[in-house]
Amino acid sequence: MKNVTDSFVPLDHWPSAGSFGLNTDILATNPINLIVVLGVLIFFGKGVLSDLLDNRKQRILNTIRNSEELRGGAIEQLEKARARLRKIEIEADQYRVNESSDGERKKLALMNSTYQNIEQKENSQNERIRFEQEKTLNQVRQRFFQQALERALETLNSRLTNELHLRIISANIDMLRTIKEIAD
C-alpha cells in the first residue's frame, strides 16, 4: 500500500502560472466588465424591480377599482335621471293630450334641458375618469423608471471605489497613448 503523502506531487514540480497583473487591452476587458456589471444589475435589481412592479400593479388596480366605482355611481345617477325623464315624458304626453298651458310646456322644455345637462355631465365625468386613469398610468411608468435608474446608480456607485475608478482611467489613457503612437 502506498503512503498517502507519496500520492501528492511536490509543489515545486508545478510550473509557475505567472504573476498577477492588470490587463489593459480595452477590447478584451470591456466585454468582461460589461458582463460583470450586467450580472450584478440583474442579480441585485431583480428583486427590487419585482417589488416595484408589484406595488405599482396594486396601485393601478386600486385606481381602476376606484374609477369603476365612480363609473358605477355615474351609471346609477343616469338610470335615475332616465327614470325621471320617462316619468316626465309620460306627464308631458298627458299635458299635450289635455292641451296644457304655455307654462307647462316651458316646464317640459326645462326638464328636457335638465336631462340633456345630466347626460352631458355623465359624459364629462366618464372623460375625466379616463383622463385620470391615463394620468395615473403615466405617473406610475415615470416613477418606476426613475426608481429603477436610481437603484442601478446606487448599486454601481457602491461597487465602484475611487482606486478602481482611477486605475481604469489610467489604463484607458495608456491604451489611447499606445493607439496614438501606432497611428503616428
Cell numbers at 62, concatenated: 386600486
Render 142-159 in DSSP notation, one character per residue.
HHHHHHHHHHHHHHHHHH
Percent share of the chain, pLDDT over 90: 16
**Of 78-82, 106-110, 119-123, 142-146, which range is least confident?**
106-110
Q: Which of 163 and 64 is assigned the larger pLDDT?
A: 64
Q: What is the mean pLDDT of the chain?
A: 80
- What is the predicted pLDDT for the residue at 14? 45
Mean pLDDT of 59-73: 89
How does residue 1 score in pLDDT terms, banded at 50, 70 and 90?
very low
pLDDT at 133 over 80: yes
- Beta carbons within 8 Å of 172's beta carbon, 6+ residues apart: 26
Alpha-carbon gap, residue 53 to 141, rounded angstroms: 10
Q: Which of 11 and 148 is assigned the larger pLDDT?
A: 148
Alpha-carbon gap, residue 112 to 11, rounded angstroms: 103
Cell numbers at 36, concatenated: 460583470
- What is the predicted pLDDT for the residue at 33? 81
Mean pLDDT of 80-90: 88
Q: Does residue 98 contact residue 57 with C-beta atoms inside 8 Å?
A: no
Residue with cell 489604463: 171
pLDDT at 2 over 70: no
Alpha-carbon gap, residue 95 to 31, rounded angstroms: 87
Ramachandran sector of residue 99 (left: φ over 0; alpha: ψ -120 to 50; beta: rest): left
Q: Which of 40 and 3 is assigned the larger pLDDT?
A: 40
**Of 71-85, 89-103, 140-154, which range is least confident?**
89-103
Q: Does residue 60 contact residue 136 with C-beta atoms inside 8 Å?
A: yes
**Of 80-84, 97-101, 131-135, which range is least confident?**
97-101
Q: Which of 25 and 4 is assigned the larger pLDDT?
A: 25
